[in-house]
Amino acid sequence: MKIAIVGYKKQERLTQGVTNDEDADLLKFLSGKGLDVVPVIWNDENVDWASFNVAIIKSPWDYHNHLPEFLNWLSQLEKSGIKVLNPVEIIQWNSHKKYLKDIAENGLPVIPSAYIDKGSDFDGSFFDLFGTDRVVVKPCVSAGAHNTVVVTKNNLEERTQEIRQFLTTEDYMVQPFTEEIKNGEWSFLFFNGQYSHCSLKTPKQDDFRVQHYHGGSISYPTPDPIHIEQAGAFLKNLPQPTLYARVDGVLINHSFTLMELELIEPYLFLNGNVDLLEIYYRALMDLIS
């Protein structure tokens, strides 16, 4: 059995396309288990996909810039009989943030969201909709806080022009600013539906973006078991098992509320930890054996 570990082109290295240290650690570990694993770039025209039995969608971190091509490529993989992890159906659903509406309709706690279709307008009505003086506006297909802006009643006029320009090219979503983000965003990692570990990403002072390249910090606290259970509930309605899932959210009134369900290319915070790599390996074998 030949397994592709799929990455992207931007950070390609000389070592056969490994895209980040986590990918390199995973490749080494799985190879050490006797698996035939090969790092590949998802849109590399020279890849012979027919030679693979399994494709692990690991870190195609530019997919949101090429979404139609990415989804078409996934469909072609599936049609050719390659087992894709995570499943194509789930990736398609997770690729546009309207999936949060589906989750909320299932009665699970999600940060409230409204959607603005490409070509539509943005105005101050969202303050009244959410009963707040501050909202966050971000693309429905995005990664890493790209084109994400905070709008207040004081900067509404300035931001409106910027957002209207954004809306000429893609769909956007609006959410009330969540004050609890200042206490950090929790990421709960699950492999084949089983909890593995978690991280806490905390923004720098006077910022809301938790990513490290925006000045955020990462810690690894021991979570409350009830929060693990609450995070796991977001996976129960998925139509198929997933090799990996990262459930991101904040604690509001000591209860977990979802911000993002990451099922396409999340960083997994494996950190070279052999125990965590072993959990990943066992989940993979359960799904492909």
Domain boundaries of the chain, sorted by first residue: 2-85, 99-108+180-267, 114-177
Per-residue pLDDT of the chain (289 residues; tens, 9 = 90+): 999 999 998 654 434 444 468 999 999 999 999 999 999 999 999 999 999 999 999 999 999 999 999 999 999 999 999 999 999 999 999 999 999 999 999 999 999 999 999 999 999 999 999 999 999 999 999 876 678 899 999 999 999 999 999 999 999 999 999 999 989 999 999 999 999 999 999 877 766 655 655 567 899 999 999 999 999 999 999 999 999 999 999 999 999 999 999 999 999 999 999 999 999 999 999 999 9
2-85 maps to CATH 3.40.50.20: yes
Q: Which of these CATH numbers, 3.40.50, 3.30.1490, 2.40.50, 1.10.287, describes 114-177? A: 3.30.1490
* Cα angle for residues 11, 7, 55 (degrees, 5° grid): 165
CB 126 within 8 A of CB 136: no
* Cα angle for residues 214, 247, 30 (degrees, 5° grid): 90
* Sign of the CA dihedral running 252, 147, 143, 125: positive
Same fold, 2-85 and 99-108+180-267: no
The CATH T-level fold of domain 99-108+180-267 is D-amino Acid Aminotransferase; Chain A, domain 1 (3.30.470)
Q: How far apart are CA 129 and CA 177, in angstroms?
A: 13
Please state the pTM of the whole predicted model.
0.91
